[in-house]
Structures are given as structure tokens and as C-alpha cells.
């Protein structure tokens, strides 16, 4: 019985994008897999689905085995982006008001 650990090969987002673009252009998935040394041509089909759903960003995201965890992560990211946008909106207006006050003081002198 072997105690060797299984190693997994990872692929860069750039390689995934190039493989997807070539597949969408009509090139054979097997040929693309062989050219890029991709161990399983089915990966390219998965990347194509991710690309169609999320665009290029989908090729950079790490997909989790549990779909609910992935959905929770997306929701958390969106909530953080919304909070950030709100802070920028609030403090952005405050900064504009301070700037106008300074300009008024300068013009009064």
C-alpha cells in the first residue's frame, strides 16, 4: 500500500482563458489539452462554463466543492463591495464639503 500523496496540477487564469478562447473558436478540446499539457480535456469544458457564467473573472475564482459555501462567499464579497461604496459615497461628500469650505475661506481673504 502506497502512502504517496496525490498531487494536483493547477493552471493559470491566462492559460485557462487562452484554452477557452481557442475552444470557442472551434478548435478541438483534445488538441488544446495536448498543446497546453492539460491532464483532462474535461477541465476545458468546465472553464468554458465558468467563462460563460462569470466572464474572465470566473477563470480566476476558486470553485469550492460545496456550492453553498461558494454562494456564501459571493454574497459576502457583494456585501463588502456595497459597504465600501457606501463609505466612499459618505466620506466623498464630506471631503467635497471640506474642500468647498477651504476654498470659500481662501477667497474671502
**Residue whose C-alpha is closest to residue 13's, from 39, 41, 50:** 50
Alpha-carbon span 64 to 73, nearest angstrom: 10
Residue 32 sits in the same domain as residue 75: no
Residue 15 sits in the same domain as residue 58: yes
Each residue's pLDDT tens digit, 42-93: 999 999 998 888 888 888 866 555 555 567 777 777 787 777 777 777 777 7
Question: Which residue range is the domain that position 68 belongs to?
Answer: 64-109
Residue 80 sits in the same domain as residue 94: yes
Residue 105 sits in the same domain as residue 71: yes
Question: Which helix (H) or strand (E) is 29 found in, with range?
Answer: helix 29-36
Each residue's pLDDT tens digit, 18-44: 999 999 999 999 999 999 999 999 999
The count of structural domains within the chain is: 2
Amino acid at each position: 500500500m502506497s502512502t504517496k500523496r496525490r498531487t494536483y496540477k493547477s493552471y493559470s487564469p491566462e492559460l485557462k482563458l487562452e484554452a477557452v478562447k481557442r475552444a470557442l473558436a472551434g478548435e478541438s478540446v483534445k488538441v488544446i489539452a495536448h498543446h497546453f499539457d492539460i491532464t483532462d480535456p474535461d477541465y476545458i469544458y468546465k472553464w468554458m462554463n465558468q467563462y460563460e457564467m462569470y466572464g474572465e473573472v470566473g477563470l480566476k475564482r476558486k470553485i469550492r466543492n460545496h456550492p453553498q459555501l461558494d454562494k456564501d462567499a459571493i454574497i459576502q464579497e457583494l456585501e463588502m463591495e456595497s459597504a465600501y461604496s457606501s463609505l466612499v459615497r459618505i466620506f466623498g461628500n464630506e471631503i467635497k464639503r471640506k474642500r468647498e469650505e477651504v476654498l470659500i475661506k481662501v477667497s474671502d481673504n
